[in-house]
Amino acid sequence: MKARVGVDRAPTTLSTYLFTYRTLSEFIKAKFKVPDLAFGQLNEQFIRDYQDFILLEKGYAVDTLRGYLAILKKICRIAYKEGHSEKYHFCHFKLPKQKESTPRALNRENFEKLRDLEIPEKRRSHIITKDLFLFACYTGTAYADAVSITRENLFTDDGGSLWLKYRRKKTDYLGRVKLLPEAVALIEKYRDDTRETLFPPQDYHTLRGNMKALRLMAGLSQDLVYHMGRHSFASLVTFEEGVPIETISKMLGHSNVRTTQIYARAPRMVA
């Protein structure tokens, strides 16, 4: 595959294969406690559990999952044709439908409602969820990145400004963001020298449930999912403030500006 890049395969194709391999390895180790499985050990439940792992544990989008599953099915088909597998696994498994939709961002009214929402101290889990989401709005970080970044991902430039520099879990591309005062305040709020990560750990299942509760608590008119924070950063915090799209692309860790242009087409915030 690597030798065919630039000939009849795009670099992004190789990346998709590599990330499919990586997520499959993570899933097998987490689910089965072994480094690998033979083709004869695969069944329909395997691909359903892998699908849940990608969507729920990793927090990836349906379109990303679709690409991974397509590669898995292709590999199983090749293995069957070349005699490595006695069965054509997953041949009847239908891929999730690909969505053609405009990225969603919070409008300004809903953003301010959530930002100003006061949550009782006893509901600490919901407070953490809210702050993780606001951090996404201020930095453009995806869930998988926000819960794994450490102080080693922070650096101060010659002018004294604090920056966040990290490699995205999803693509391995570099994201680089000058931190707003609001983002710095959130980091300091959870500062704990006994913990490696900047924020307390919170699994995706808990976060997703808390997001639904936060929507009701704040009286939002929009559904609330974590990835909306990344889109809100692209449109509300940067694009509408006149930041060049090339700069936004680097902040988000996108591989090309075309992807960022899709984010920029998100509905504009209303004052």
DSSP 8-state secondary structure symbol assigned to residue 146? H
Backbone angles phi, psi at 179, to 5 degrees: -80, 130
3-state secondary structure 41-85: HCCHHHHHHHHHHHHHHCCCCHHHHHHHHHHHHHHHHHHHHCCCC
Query: Which amino acid makes up residue 212?
Result: K
Q: Which of 205, 153, 162 is nearest to 182 (CA)?
A: 162
Domains of the chain: 2-81 (1.10.150), 108-264 (1.10.443.10)
Per-residue confidence of the chain (271 residues) as pLDDT tens digits?
444 433 334 444 667 788 899 999 999 999 999 999 998 899 989 999 999 999 888 878 888 888 899 999 999 999 999 999 999 999 888 888 766 555 577 888 999 999 999 999 999 999 999 999 999 999 988 888 899 999 999 999 999 989 999 887 777 777 888 888 999 999 999 999 999 999 999 888 789 899 999 999 999 988 888 888 887 776 665 555 555 556 556 556 555 656 555 555 544 443 3
Chain centroid to CA 230: 9
